[in-house]
Chains A and B, each alone.
Chain A
Amino acid sequence: MLALVANRSVRPYLLLVIIAVALWIFDRGRGQFFTTATAFSVLQQFATIGPIALGLGLSMIIREFDLSVGGMLSLSGCIAVLTGAHYPALGVALAVLCGLVWGAFQGTMMVWLRLGSIGVTLGGLLTLGGLAYVVTGNLSISYPRMDVALAVNNPVLHVFSLRSLVALAAFLAAAFFMARTRAGRDVYATGSDRRAAMVAGVRTAAILPAVFACSGMLAALGGALLSYSLAAASGVALTDALVPATASAIIGGVSLTGGKGTPIGIVGGVLVLCLLSAGLNAIGTPPAVQDVVTGGVLLAVAIADAVDLDPRLFAMRRYWAEMFVRPAESVRSADTSAAE
C-alpha cells in the first residue's frame, strides 16, 4: 500500500478516489454530484487544461519550465479562428505549426545562448499574449462556423467530446513515447542529470528544442480547439490557464527537480483539479472556496514531495519534544536506548 502511495503515477489516482468520495459525502445523497453532466464537465475542463499541463509537464521533466504555453494558448486560438473559417483543419494546422516553430525557437535559443528557460519563456508568454491582441486588433472575434463549434463539443458516449478525446489521444501518444522509445528515455536522462546524459552521448542539445516544440504544439492544439468550441477568440480570455496547468503537473507527480513524472500521472493530476472544480461547482460551493480547497490539495502534494521529508519530520518532533514536553537529556537517553 505504501509503495502505491510512493509511486508518483499512482498517487494522483488515489487522490482522485479520495476526492470523489469526499464530494459524494458532502453531496449527502442529493444526487447533484454523481451525474453524467459532472463527468462531461470534468472532461471538458480536462480538454482545456490537459494539453497545456502535458506540455508544461514535459518541460518540467527535463528540468526546465515553459511559461510561454499560456501565451501560446491565446495566440493559437486567434490564429485558428482567423484562418480556419473555410477549412477548420487548416486553422488547427496553422496554429500547431506556429506552436512548433515558436517552441523550437525558444529551445534553440536556450541551447545556443545558454539561457535559462524561465527568462526566455516569460518573454515568450508576454510576446505571444501581446501578439494575440495585435492580430485580433484588441477585439473579441467570433468564429462563424457554429457547426464546427457544435461538432467539437457534442457529447460522444455521453461523457466525452471530440475535444476531450483529442486531448486523451495526445496523452496516450505521449505516454507511449516516454515509456517505450529511446528518445523518451533520453528526455528522462536529460532531466535527471543533464551533464551525465551529455557525457554518456545523449544529444541534449537536440532534446531541449524538441521538448519545447512539443510543448508549444500541445498548447496550440488545445488553444485552437478551445476557441472553436467557444466560437470566439480574443487576447484576453485564455492566459490564466498557466496556474492550473502547473498545479496539475505537480499533483500528477512531475518533480520540479526533473527526471520524474509520467504523462499518465499528469492525466491524473489534471483530473484531480477538474474534478475538484466541477464537483464543488455541482454541490454549490462558492468559487472562492474552490480556490482554497484546490490550493490546499496542491500544498499537501508539495509537502508529500519533499526530498527528505522523514528526517525533517523527525528533527521537528525532536525539537518540539525538547522545547516543550520534556527536558533535553531525557529525550536523548530515550532515543539512544530506542536505537539500541
Chain B
Amino acid sequence: MAKKSGVNVTAAYTAEAVPLVARDAAADRDEPGGNVASAVAVRHLSKSFGPIAALKDVSLDIGSGEIRGICGENGAGKSTLVKILTGVYRPDAGNVLIGGAAVSVATPRQAQELGIAIVAQELSLCPDLSVEDNIWLGSLHVPFLHKRPDLRRRAAEALALLGAGHIDLDTPVTNLSMGERQLVEIARLLTRDARVLILDEPTATLTDIEIERIFAALLAVKREGRSVVYITHRLAEVYAICDRVSVLRNGELVTTTSLKGLDRSALIELMLGRPSDEMYPEEARARGAPALVVEGMSLPGIVNDFSMKVHRGEILCIAGQVGSGAAEIVAALAGLVHDAGGRVTVNGRPLKLGSSVRAAQRGIMFVSGDRAAEGVFRRLSVLQNLVATRLRDHSLLGFLRGGALRKAAAHLAARVGIDRRRLNARAEELSGGNQQKLAFGRSIERQAGAILLMNEPTRGIDVGARAEIYRLMRGFCEDGYALVMASSDLEEIVGVGDVVITLYRGRRIGHYRRSEVSMHRIVADITHPRETTP
C-alpha cells in the first residue's frame, strides 16, 4: 500500500528533475574498453581479520544505471565490502574493476577520484556550515577563494536533480530535517561526479514520506546512468527500489538475483541460510491487570489528549511516523519530557511525570532505539553495563562485591542471550543487536508489575537479531511485564503488537486488537487519517 502510493510521488519528482551537467555523461561514454555494461565490478575479493574471514572470494558486477540491493545479516560482510570499495580497507586478494579495468583503491581520496562515493549511516555534514559549503566541503576541485558563482550553480543543479530544489543554499544544515540532510549528502556526491553511489542504511532515521523522496532521488540518479549500491535491513525497500539484489552470508556471496519471482520469505531464507522460522512469536496468551493507565496526556506542541491502558503480559504498540509524537509519548512516560501533563497511574497508584528517577523507582524502564546516545555505556564492559542499575544489590557497606556482580551479570547475559564469554568486552565492540540485548538485560527488574518502554527497539538491527529481540520481548510478557513500544516500522508493528494504537500528528487515530490489525489500516491511519475514530 505504502509503496503503491509512493510510485505517484516518485513520478511527480522525476518529472521535475533537471539533468545535471552534460559534461559528466560525455565523460562516461569516453571511458575506454572493457565491459561497457558494468560500472564497477569486484573479482574474487577476500579479506580476513586475524583468523576471521570477513569476505571470501566475492565477485560482483554492478551495471551502469543499476540500483543494486545488498542484503545480509550483520557480520555477513557487507560493510567490509563497502570499505574495500571506498578505500578504507585493502583486500587480501582479488581486485576492483572500474569500466572493466583493474584499479587500486588504496585511500578514500582515491575512491573519490575514481567516482566511488558513500553515504554512510552517520552523515558527514557539518551542522554550522551552509548547504552550499557542505556540498563542496572536502571536494578536490574547489579553489582557494571558494565563493564562486559556478560552484553555487552546480550545487543548486544537483539539489534540483534530486527533487530538493526548495532547499536554500545559504541555510545552515542544522536547520534541515534528516531527510533533507540525506539529500544534501547525495547532492555532494553528485557534484563530485560519483558514478557509483553506495548508500548504507539510508532510511533508518527517516519518515515514510522522506523515504519516498530519497527513492525518487535515487531513480533520478539512475536515469543519469549512474549506479547505486543500496544496503538495507528493510526488505520492503529492496523490493521497492532495487533492480537486482546480491545476498551475502558469512562473507560469501550466496547469489545475485532479479527480484521478480523472489518472494520475501525466500529472500530471508537466502540471507539466513535456513528456512525463516517464526519471525514473530505468537500473541500473548492471557492479559493481566492493567499496569499502566494514561489519561489525557498532553505534550505541548506535540501530543494532545492521549489516553491508553496497558495490561500486564501484553505488548502495546504506538504506531506513528517520525514526528507523530509516538516516540515523545514513550519518552514522557520514562520521565524525559519536562513539560508533560496528564494523569498516569502505575499499578493503581498515580505517577507524576517529568522525572526519570521517579519513573525508575516505580518500575518503569526505558530501552531507547538511539543506542549511541541513550542506550548502553559504550566504553564500559558488557558486565558493567548489565549490572549498572543494580549496584546497590551487590555491594557491602558501599563497596562492590566483585564475585556477586559477575554472577549476576552472567545470569542476565544468559537471560538475554549474550555469550557469557563476552562479559569483559567493551559494549561498543558488540553488534547493534547485541547492544540492544544489553539494554534489555539492564532493564530486567525483579519488582512485580514492571513496565518496559521501548522506542524503535530494532532500529538498524538485522533480521536475525530482530527475531531474537522479539522473542525476548515476548519472554518479558510471560514474566508479567507490560510492554509499550513506539515504532514506525510497519512489519514490526503488525508482527509484535498485541494492541496497536495509531497516531497522526499527536492525535490518537485508531485502536486495534491483534486480530483486527492489518498493515493496510495502519498505513492509512498514520498517513491519511480518517475523520472518525473507531
Contacts and interface: CB of A to CB of B under 8 A. Distances in A.
A295 B301 CA distance: 37
Contacts of B15: none
A232 to B, nearest CB: 42
Contacts of B108: 201
A206 interface: no
B146 A199 contact: no
Nearest to B126: A192
A205 interface: no
Contacts, number: 91
Given A180-B145, A200-B124, A335-B300, A185 B339 contact: no
Interface residues of B, number: 34
Given A201-B109, A202-B138, A336-B298, A181 B145 contact: yes
A259 B124 contact: no
A318 B300 CA distance: 13
B511 to A, nearest CB: 22
B126 A189 contact: yes
Interface residue SS majority, chain B: loop
Interface string A178-199: 0011110110110111011111
Contacts of B125: 193, 196, 200
A185 B129 contact: yes
A201 B128 contact: no
Interface string B107-126: 01100100000001011111
Interface string B325-353: 00000000000001101100000000000
Contacts of B304: 336, 339-340
Interface in B291-339: 298, 300-301, 304-305, 338-339
Nearest to A340: B304
Contact of B126 (A183, A197, A318, A340): A197
A169 interface: no
Contact of A332 (B123, B133, B147, B341): B341
A260 B124 CA distance: 18
Contacts of B124: 195-200
Given A314-B339, A339-B304, A188 B128 contact: yes
B129 A192 contact: yes
A197 B144 contact: no
Chain A interface size range: 20 to 34
Interface in A118-167: none
A315 interface: yes
Contact of B300 (A186, A193, A339): A339
Nearest to B354: A315
A318 B339 contact: yes
B298 A339 contact: yes
A64 to B, nearest CB: 16
Contacts of A201: 108-109, 112, 137-140
Interface in B116-160: 120, 122-129, 133-134, 137-140, 142-147
B140 A183 contact: no
Given A183-B144, A196-B124, A199-B124, A339 B129 contact: no
A302 to B, nearest CB: 19
Contacts of B508: none
Contact of B339 (A193, A199, A200, A315): A315
B98 to A, nearest CB: 19
Interface string A193-227: 10111111110000000000000000000000000
B393 to A, nearest CB: 33
Contact of A182 (B120, B143, B188): B143
A340 B144 CA distance: 53
Contacts of A200: 124-126, 134, 137-138, 188
Nearest to A258: B128
Contacts of A181: 144-146
A181 B145 CA distance: 5
A179 to B, nearest CB: 9
Contacts of B188: 200
Interface string B249-289: 00000000000000000000000000000000000000000
Contacts of B147: 180
Contacts of B305: 336
Contacts of B120: 199
B143 A193 contact: no
A311 B304 CA distance: 19
Given A335-B341, A336-B341, A260 B128 contact: yes
Nearest to B120: A199
Nearest to B299: A339
Contacts of B128: 188, 191-192, 259-260
Interface string B475-518: 00000000000000000000000000000000000000000000
A240 B500 CA distance: 64
Contacts of B144: 181-183
Given A181-B144, A201-B139, A196 B126 contact: yes
A66 to B, nearest CB: 20
A335 to B, nearest CB: 6
B103 to A, nearest CB: 19
Query: Would you list the 10 A-B pairs with minimal beta carbon distance, nearest first?
Result: A201-B138, A199-B124, A200-B138, A259-B128, A192-B126, A192-B128, A182-B146, A196-B124, A332-B341, A189-B126
28 contacts: A181-B144, A181-B146, A182-B144, A182-B145, A186-B137, A189-B129, A189-B137, A193-B126, A196-B122, A197-B138, A199-B120, A200-B125, A200-B188, A201-B108, A202-B137, A259-B127, A311-B339, A314-B339, A315-B339, A318-B338, A318-B339, A332-B342, A335-B298, A335-B300, A335-B339, A335-B341, A336-B300, A336-B305
Interface of B: 108-109, 112, 120, 122-129, 133-134, 137-140, 142-147, 188, 298, 300-301, 304-305, 338-339, 341-342
Interface of A: 180-183, 185-186, 188-189, 191-193, 195-202, 259-260, 311, 314-315, 318, 332, 335-336, 339-340
Given A193-B126, A201-B138, 17 more contacts: A180-B146, A181-B146, A182-B143, A188-B126, A188-B129, A192-B128, A195-B122, A200-B134, A200-B188, A202-B137, A259-B129, A315-B339, A335-B298, A335-B300, A336-B300, A336-B304, A336-B341
